[in-house]
Structure 1
């Protein structure tokens, strides 16, 4: 039984979402066991929790500050020194690698490449590591400034971006974003109803990840239309759920108000449109569900490329205010839902719901073809990666 370590971090749901999909895909492979590792949560759980909350607060309430931080990380020559300061994290990661003796390492968070390459410089020998880039188009240099055995990207334009940054073309794999296997294994009955059916409402999914006042204003606007069924996910904020249910009880639309839910794949596959911010996981899941997206918020930096992917492929729209959201939905469903049909058709041209399985197959192919077993570390399997 060979082990694959999947390294992730909780700074943005996209990293964890991709990691969980990869875990499921690797665990489908014969004689393979995937293990998720979040070294930041393991090394300092309390600090990790506080820093994650701080990250979420900054991107939602002070996007200009986050934009400056993101730009500094992209351009500063001091970044390597910053990551060398994570010595205790690096030692813990090295200990896990020495104990697990993985056949392969896959990371969905860019800092790991820096830690792994530093471990190699310190003399630890271990298997190749691969980087799954969870951003699209506008890719921070953290993802490629430290070397890797291979980079997996969402689309051809992202691959071209990496080539322009002198990443070797043979190490770049265009696989799509690793989404839950449910999207690839989609049963035929999971589809939205005909959008102009006289007996079926247009199904609109609103995933709340913006400020409370803004979320309530959007919900009020959506719930006024009797031709729509509005599903709202409010996360773990119980007081927000209570407020939304009170508003919905007096509305014209049919509705469902949810808290935290693990039904997101099913919801995306059975709704006509999703309204959400342009997070990496949400954007990619909507693409692979063939559910056009109205982007109501873009975090500067990492989310700009996600929206650009939607815009460039004409598969949704930017609508940041309640009035613009309602107007865009009305336009999408007008004229026999012509615009909606165009968006959905375009999504089908670049969706890659089997990305996680394709990544797993690519990572394991040279290992499965090697006459050397995948268990022990040997000089032949020692892997050195030089920084770009």
Structure 2
């Protein structure tokens, strides 16, 4: 048995999900090839798509969000032109990928980005494609572009998204609410004090501020607001690959202790060590936090899918949104002083969490491919 896992670079979440799945298949001794599709077709195309995505979400987020909402509300007639353009684009882009699929003859193809799924949909319409095809939806909503895809199965973050898919015209039995695939290490729990000792943190409450490499929001201002809060805690900042941000935080003069890091490979341990996390509401990070049951304070959502992530998690009682009317210092104060609210939030997170999502998806694919081969 062998397979292809296809992604596209638009931020890093989709690629990270693909790599997690690739590693999980390898554990089962299954030959698997992970491919950034646009990078494979043309590196310049891949770089351009990523730059446009980052520019549109950072520089003109309101326009990006407006386009997203238009796509959500589109009618079939209004999207005919869009679909025609998409078919033409995919017809050009799919030629090299078709040759690869013909050469590899994979038993399954998994797409962790909608653009990869649309390419596979186009190929399956013009070629005899015997592979099992699976789309992984990496948010707590179904992006409107998924409506133009036609795969065998779709992985959703929650059972509650199945009805959303049915309303969009998909058969219910195509949806598998296995969760957004995350690294299996997030399913394990280290005692908090042991995690603090591992990281060299003081034995007192810790607030984890996850910045990431994309540079959204004003992390410096958030840290200053936290520093003014009259509670005894330490601030743990993880800046990812954002070296400029790390350097700025290193220079801050604060009353509270700041433990400032760049890129770390053990985010799971940081989550175990800290009492709450301040983060953008990306699908992957929030899924990891759910698995760890670390209360989330969500800020700076990308208009569009991340707005929908916020709505889903707020409606589930699993997170708090930072805003002008609920500023960061008040939200942290509420979490650290209201133990009943904290317990309710952790229970809501436990009910939503899918810590074994990658393992469950890989098991499903293996069982389904084997059943097909016996049929």
Whole-Å Cα distance in 2 between the matches of residues 219 and 322 of structure 1?
18
**Residues 192 and 164 of structure 1, relative CA distance in 2, 3 Å threshold:** farther
- 2:120 counterpart (99, 102, 116): 116
- 1:228 counterpart (206, 211, 233): 233
Matches within 5 A, 1:103-142: 103-137=107-141, 139-142=142-145
Structure 2 gap ranges (5+): 197-201
CA RMSD after TM alignment? 2.4
**Which residue is 1:358 aligned to?**
360
Cα contact 1:63–1:299 (8 A) shared by 2: yes
**Which residue is 2:246 aligned to?**
241
Whole-Å Cα distance in 1 between the matches of residues 160 and 39 of structure 2?
33
Matches within 5 A, 1:1-388: 2-29=1-28, 31-74=29-72, 75=74, 76-84=79-87, 85-137=89-141, 139-187=142-190, 200-209=203-212, 214-225=218-229, 227-247=232-252, 250-320=253-323, 324-335=327-338, 337-371=339-373
Please report the TM-score for the alignment, with normalisation by the length of structure 1: 0.86
Q: Alpha-carbon deviation of 1:213? A: 7.3
Q: Alpha-carbon deviation of 1:105? A: 0.7
- SS, match of residue 232 in structure 1: strand
**Residues 117 and 239 of structure 1, relative CA distance in 2, 3 Å threshold:** closer
Q: Deviations over 1:273-311 (max 9, x none)?
A: 111111111111111121111111121211122112221
**Residues 99 and 191 of structure 1, relative CA distance in 2, 3 Å threshold:** farther
Q: Deviations over 1:28-79 (max 9, x none)?
A: 22x4122211111122213322331231122123111101332344433333
Q: Which of 230-239 and 181-190 deviates more?
A: 181-190
Cα contact 2:301–2:307 (8 A) shared by 1: yes
Cα contact 2:193–2:203 (8 A) shared by 1: no
**Residues 212 and 8 of structure 1, relative CA distance in 2, 3 Å threshold:** closer
**Residues 213 and 368 of structure 1, relative CA distance in 2, 3 Å threshold:** closer
Whole-Å Cα distance in 1 between the matches of residues 22 and 37 of structure 2?
16
Q: Alpha-carbon deviation of 1:11? A: 1.1
Cα contact 2:190–2:272 (8 A) shared by 1: no
**Residues 16 and 142 of structure 1, relative CA distance in 2, 3 Å threshold:** same
**Residues 119 and 236 of structure 1, relative CA distance in 2, 3 Å threshold:** same
Count of residue pairs the alignment pairs up: 362
**Residues 190 and 129 of structure 1, relative CA distance in 2, 3 Å threshold:** farther
**Residues 241 and 206 of structure 1, relative CA distance in 2, 3 Å threshold:** same
Q: Deviations over 1:301-354 (max 9, x none)?
A: 11122112221121220113598111111111114x332222122211221110
**Which residue is 2:199 aligned to?**
none
Q: Which of 341-350 and 70-79 deviates more?
A: 70-79
- SS, match of residue 103 in structure 2: helix
- SS, match of residue 32 in structure 2: strand
Whole-Å Cα distance in 1 between the matches of residues 321 and 58 of structure 2?
17
Q: Deviations over 1:97-150 (max 9, x none)?
A: 11211111111111223222222232343312111111213x222113321101
- SS, match of residue 343 in structure 2: helix
Give the number of the structure whose residues are more often helix, by fraction: 2
Cα contact 2:178–2:357 (8 A) shared by 1: yes
Q: Which has the higher contact order (CA 8 A, sep 6+)?
A: 1
Whole-Å Cα distance in 1 between the matches of residues 369 and 24 of structure 2?
16
Whole-Å Cα distance in 2 between the matches of residues 270 and 212 of structure 1?
24
Whole-Å Cα distance in 2 between the matches of residues 213 and 317 of structure 1?
17
- SS, match of residue 86 in structure 1: helix
Q: Alpha-carbon deviation of 1:189? A: 6.3
Whole-Å Cα distance in 1 between the matches of residues 24 and 153 of structure 2?
18
